[in-house]
Structure 1
Amino acid sequence: MNHLELIKKVEWKDLKSLSIKEMLIENNISLPWLIISLFLAYKNYYWAALPFSGFYFLTALRQVHNGFHNSLGTGKFLTWLSLYLNSMSMMTSIHAVKFNHIRHHKFCLSEEDYEGKSASMKWYEAILYGPKHMFLIHWITFKKANKNYRKNMILELISISVFVMIVFYFRINFLLYHIAVMFFGEFLMAFFAVWTVHHDTHENPNIARTQRGFWKNKLTFSMFYHMEHHLFPAVPTIKLPKLAERIDQVLPELNKRQTF
């Protein structure tokens, strides 16, 4: 069964809308983790700050990912602002990531899918590929994106550069820590955000890997419901557990490859 047949069998359109509570969660889910990580780093508790920084990176990725698909429940400007501010805090142009992610859905694991290049690698190759992956994301945006994407990317890269220069000039140690951890997270994106959910799925790319298990999905903030996301990209992350239940009920015979 291909992904188009799957889509016809599962009710999903009612899951697109968000309540006010759900909208507030999706738009602010990363904020507590950022505040706690920065506070602990400010107090020089860097090792204690590290897991909170990791959860910040993961939840910020969830937030911008919903923004890519206009699933934050907010208007155009607030979605843009979310992507811009998270670019500043995540140390990469999120609009460049968005451009390549939309292409990833359109050309999934084909030659034109630059985001998905690491899916065909071995796990350790995907880790080593990380820095090149981040460079390529920006380069492809510069070469192939329209004027609006390029303008947003340049604005974000300039803003990041100014922020980094200020932090280095004034030697703001807790922000130096944050910058270093965010760059490290970005270099692992080719492994965690691509390889883990797409390796060995080239025969049917839109049937990506997924994750079952209550605690696994709680600890990863539902970010590994990737099959569900590829089949129904308009569904916000907060609704993916419900979507997964529906898929399991309607298509129990579907071979769901686990992420981990």
Structure 2
Amino acid sequence: MSDARNSQVEWRDLLALSHREILVELLMPLLALAAALIAGAVRCWPLLVLASAMMFMFGLRVSHGAFHRSLGLRKGGNDAVMFVLSALLGGSMHAIEVTHHRHHRDCLADDDVEGHIASHGFWRALLESPRYPLAIHLQAWRHGTQGQRHWIATELIVAVMVQGLIWKSGIGTLKGIALTLYAANALAAMPGIWLVHRGCRHRDSDIARSTRSRLVTWLSAGMFHHAEHHAFPAVPTCHLSELAHRIDAQGSTPPSIADDFASRK
């Protein structure tokens, strides 16, 4: 959405988080992890997969907040959050931070490795999705600062160590969680990038899509208010629904993630 259409939208009051909201944000991936461990303990494998997928989704949401310093934490707190989630999710969150800020600076440009997958049709995007994490890490290493490279290297080493311990342990629950996270990492680009940017072009006034469905908003942990996020990236995820209402009131509702879906496969 262009800045001109949203110049009258009030958003600065949405930046602050209460202590309760901060705690809820930080606990979401940990509670999902606890649910996955309990499911494994009682051998309810479908629930384990579901809870592990939720942990991945919540982990990305919290990491994303850390990227934009919208968790209500100091810088050191954001770095610590990304470090812990790197170990849990199996990759470097500081690497994604590098490419994500490049994505925001020049969204869907030729060198936007994060947004590149949105230029493809559904099936090609699906085939390329498993390569997406590798492309993110390589681009981040190439363009990151020395400090960011230090974080990336440290997080990848810790993530490899965690995976080694999981597979050495022989614990079925941990292996099930790990396998689910492998699949989630391989497919994350489809809902996270392709779905919310498909059909958009570099320098379009509408650079991203959104949703107005309460069910979809709930299922996506609020992260499908993506056009709103691009327009006001400092607004915390938990306040994006309110921001969407305010944008609608200005008559500048963004395109829906469901629009023209079939024709773009």
Which digits, 9 at most, give the CA deviation of each residue in 1:122-177, with x for residues without a partner?
Answer: 11211211221111111111111111111101001100111111122221221111
Counterpart secondary structure, 1:140: helix
After TM superposition, list the pairs within 5 Å mapping 1:74-223 onto structure 2.
74-202=73-201, 204=204, 207-223=207-223
Residues in 2 aligned to 1:168 and 1:131: alpha-carbon distance in whole angstroms: 21
Which residue is 1:226 aligned to? Answer: 226
Gaps of 5+ in 2: 259-265
Aligned-CA RMSD value: 1.4
Does the aligned pair in 2 maintain the 1:206–1:231 contact within 8 Å?
A: no
Does the aligned pair in 2 maintain the 1:108–1:205 contact within 8 Å?
A: no
After TM superposition, list the pairs within 5 Å mapping 1:25-104 onto structure 2.
25-104=24-103
Does the aligned pair in 1 maintain the 2:9–2:247 contact within 8 Å?
A: yes
Counterpart secondary structure, 1:109: coil
Residues in 1 aligned to 2:206 and 2:248: alpha-carbon distance in whole angstroms: 17
TM-score, normalising length: structure 2: 0.93
Residues in 2 aligned to 1:48 and 1:108: alpha-carbon distance in whole angstroms: 37
Does the aligned pair in 2 maintain the 1:197–1:210 contact within 8 Å?
A: yes
How far off its partner does 1:255 sit?
A: 5.2
Residues in 2 aligned to 1:153 and 1:6: alpha-carbon distance in whole angstroms: 38
Does the aligned pair in 2 maintain the 1:64–1:86 contact within 8 Å?
A: yes
TM-score, normalising length: structure 1: 0.94
Gaps of 5+ in 1: none
Which residue is 1:8 aligned to? Answer: 7
Which residue is 1:235 aligned to? Answer: 235
Counterpart secondary structure, 1:204: coil
How far off its partner does 1:206 sit?
A: 5.3
Does the aligned pair in 2 maintain the 1:109–1:205 contact within 8 Å?
A: no
Residues in 2 aligned to 1:205 and 1:23: alpha-carbon distance in whole angstroms: 32
Aligned residue pairs total 257
Does the aligned pair in 2 maintain the 1:129–1:190 contact within 8 Å?
A: no
Which digits, 9 at most, give the CA deviation of each residue in 1:189-221, with x for residues without a partner?
Answer: 221111000000116165310000222212221
- Percent identical among aligned pairs is 30
Does the aligned pair in 2 maintain the 1:207–1:231 contact within 8 Å?
A: no
